């Protein structure tokens, strides 16, 4: 299926700051999407039920992109509004206007809306001032919600949720009735989220995110973030003699160099070659799996496999990082500390190797 949208389409759905800056760019993108939509409509004879699943999804995505770009155009040109690039609505949209109107009624304020976007609110309430982006926590909690995915399935995972604005509610962890017998729909409807705004927005945010990940040939994952996660986890290890951590610190530094080289090579990758794309995506998928120790932490905790993000004996639910090293430090057994640091170092270097070039693996 041929696509005509820009390669980074959808990024500006999540942030108006990433939208095309000029009318010429807007018109160009709108024309590209209208052309693609016309081709899809011609292929199915205006009956989208004849399209395959991926093409149906693509029609929905193109309509979302068009609606978003036109809204931006209208805001930029309040006295000269046009529906399309230069010639008004496409023929496909004219003939399907009633259907499009019905479809638009299904879309309610969500992650890609212009008014008080999820992204903008996230930046305003929970900003990372170092990276100048919304704050993202590394490592999921190790409770039952994520255990199977993080420790056993070996997948890359994400959790997104609404949280409290500390300026209004303080540093509360959750609402008082969480996990009580009073936590029923009527309570949610009356006190927590009467209009289902938070639930609906997060559902749509995750829906758009999954659509982008499934529709984009090249996975949009930045491996250099794992360097930040590893360093953060290592810095959480409180030990009197920090030089003991030097082997682990060196491994993380080498991981950083390999990750940056991986990103650099990806920018010159032949995105028209399906074999190269497959190899690149496979390397991304194997990265997370490389951090899992098949033996687990010990004979009593064989299911706690993730070397970086598994529960420790001192914290069975939250995530601090390098749990076996943390437990060894708590035991104050120097031999055990060195052993666990060596194991963690081994797996960090193993993860680094998954990102290297196939023909330059031993470098």
Same domain, 65 and 179: no
- The pLDDT score that the predictor gives to residue 141 is 63
- The pLDDT score that the predictor gives to residue 271 is 87
What pLDDT band is residue 12 in, cutting at 50, 70 and 90? very low
By the 8 A CB rule, do 339 and 246 touch?
no
pLDDT digits (tens, 9 = 90+) for 64-82: 777 777 777 666 665 444 4
Separation CA 310–CA 316 (nearest Å): 9
Domain of 174, in residue numbers: 118-137+157-215
Separation CA 87–CA 33 (nearest Å): 14
pLDDT digits (tens, 9 = 90+) for 107-156: 333 333 433 477 788 888 888 888 788 888 888 766 667 778 888 877 88
What pLDDT band is residue 327 in, cutting at 50, 70 and 90? very high
Report the DSSP beta bridge partners of residue 134: 127
Same domain, 132 and 232: no
Same domain, 211 and 229: no
Residue 258 domain flag: yes
Of 82-96, 163-177, 298-312, 341-355, where does the model show the most confidence? Answer: 341-355
Residue 71 domain flag: yes
- The pLDDT score that the predictor gives to residue 77 is 62
- Other CB atoms within a 10 A radius of the CB of residue 133 amount to 13
Last residue of a domain, one of 106, 129, 146: 106
Q: How far lies 272's CA from each of 69, 180, 222, 285, 309, in Å?
A: 26, 53, 20, 20, 36
In eight-state DSSP terms, residue 126 is S
Of 51-60, 142-151, 156-165, where does the model show the most confidence? Answer: 156-165
Answering whether pTM is above 0.85, one says no
Last residue of a domain, one of 182, 215, 248: 215
Same domain, 97 and 124: no
Residue 146 domain flag: no
Same domain, 85 and 18: yes
What pLDDT band is residue 86 in, cutting at 50, 70 and 90? very low
Residues 314/319/322/325 CA torsion (nearest 10 deg): -10
Residue 111 domain flag: no
Same domain, 55 and 180: no
What residue has token string 């598994």? 310
Of all residues in the chain, what percent carry a pLDDT higher than 70?
Answer: 78
Separation CA 303–CA 293 (nearest Å): 9
Same domain, 238 and 283: yes
Residue 228 domain flag: yes
Separation CA 196–CA 24 (nearest Å): 38
Residue 113 domain flag: no
Of all residues in the chain, what percent carry a pLDDT higher than 90?
Answer: 25
Q: How far lies 187's CA from each of 175, 195, 261, 295, in Å?
A: 11, 12, 51, 44
Q: Is the pLDDT of residue 164 over 90?
A: no
| Mean pLDDT estimate for the chain | 78
What pLDDT band is residue 310 in, cutting at 50, 70 and 90? confident
Cα Rg of the chain, angstroms: 24
- When pLDDT is averaged across residues 243-250 and rounded to a whole number, the result is 96
Q: Which residue has the higher pLDDT, 291 or 54?
A: 291
Same domain, 235 and 351: yes
Residue 190 domain flag: yes
3-state secondary structure at position 95:
helix
Same domain, 283 and 356: yes
- What is the CATH classification number for the domain harbouring 340? 1.20.930.40
Residue 319 domain flag: yes
Separation CA 297–CA 145 (nearest Å): 20
Q: Which of 56-70, 85-99, 309-323 has the lowest mean pLDDT?
A: 85-99
Which token pair is 106?
């299904």
Same domain, 61 and 94: yes
Last residue of a domain, one of 215, 237, 262: 215
**What is the number of domains present in the chain?**
3
Same domain, 21 and 43: yes
Same domain, 131 and 211: yes
By the 8 A CB rule, do 306 and 291 touch?
yes
């Amino acid at each position: 299926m041929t696509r005509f949208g820009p390669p980074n389409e959808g990024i500006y759905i999540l942030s108006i700051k990433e939208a095309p800056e000029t009318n010429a760019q807007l018109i160009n993108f709108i024309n590209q999407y209208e052309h693609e939509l016309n081709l899809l409509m011609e292929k199915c004879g205006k009956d989208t039920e004849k399209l395959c699943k991926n093409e149906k999804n693509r029609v929905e995505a193109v309509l979302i992109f068009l609606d978003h770009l036109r809204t931006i155009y209208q805001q930029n040109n309040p006295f000269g509004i046009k529906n399309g690039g230069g010639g008004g609505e496409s023929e496909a949209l004219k003939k399907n206007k009633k259907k499009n109107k019905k479809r638009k009624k299904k879309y309610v304020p969500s992650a890609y809306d212009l008014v008080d976007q999820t992204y903008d609110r996230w930046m305003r309430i929970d900003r990372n001032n170092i990276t100048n982006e919304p704050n993202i926590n590394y490592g999921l909690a190790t409770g039952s919600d994520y255990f199977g995915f993080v420790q056993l399935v070996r997948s890359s995972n994400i959790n997104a949720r609404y949280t409290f604005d500390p300026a209004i509610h303080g540093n509360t962890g959750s609402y008082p009735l969480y996990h009580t017998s009073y936590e029923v729909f009527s309570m949610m409807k009356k006190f927590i989220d009467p209009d289902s705004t938070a639930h609906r927005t997060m559902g749509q945010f995750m829906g758009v995110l999954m659509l982008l990940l499934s529709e984009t040939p090249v996975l949009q994952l930045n491996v250099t973030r794992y360097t930040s996660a590893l360093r953060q986890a290592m810095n959480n290890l409180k030990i009197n003699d920090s030089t003991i951590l030097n082997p682990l610190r060196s491994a993380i530094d080498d991981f950083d160099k390999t990750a940056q080289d991986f990103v650099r090579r990806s920018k010159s990758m032949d995105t028209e070659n399906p074999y190269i794309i497959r190899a690149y995506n496979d390397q991304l998928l194997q990265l997370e799996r490389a951090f899992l120790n098949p033996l687990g932490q010990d004979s009593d905790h064989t299911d706690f496999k993730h070397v970086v993000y598994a529960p420790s004996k001192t914290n069975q639910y939250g995530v601090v990082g390098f749990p076996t090293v943390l437990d060894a430090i708590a035991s104050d057994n120097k031999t055990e500390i060195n052993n666990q640091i060596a194991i963690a170092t081994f797996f960090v270097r193993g993860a680094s190797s998954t990102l290297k070039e196939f023909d330059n693996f031993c470098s």
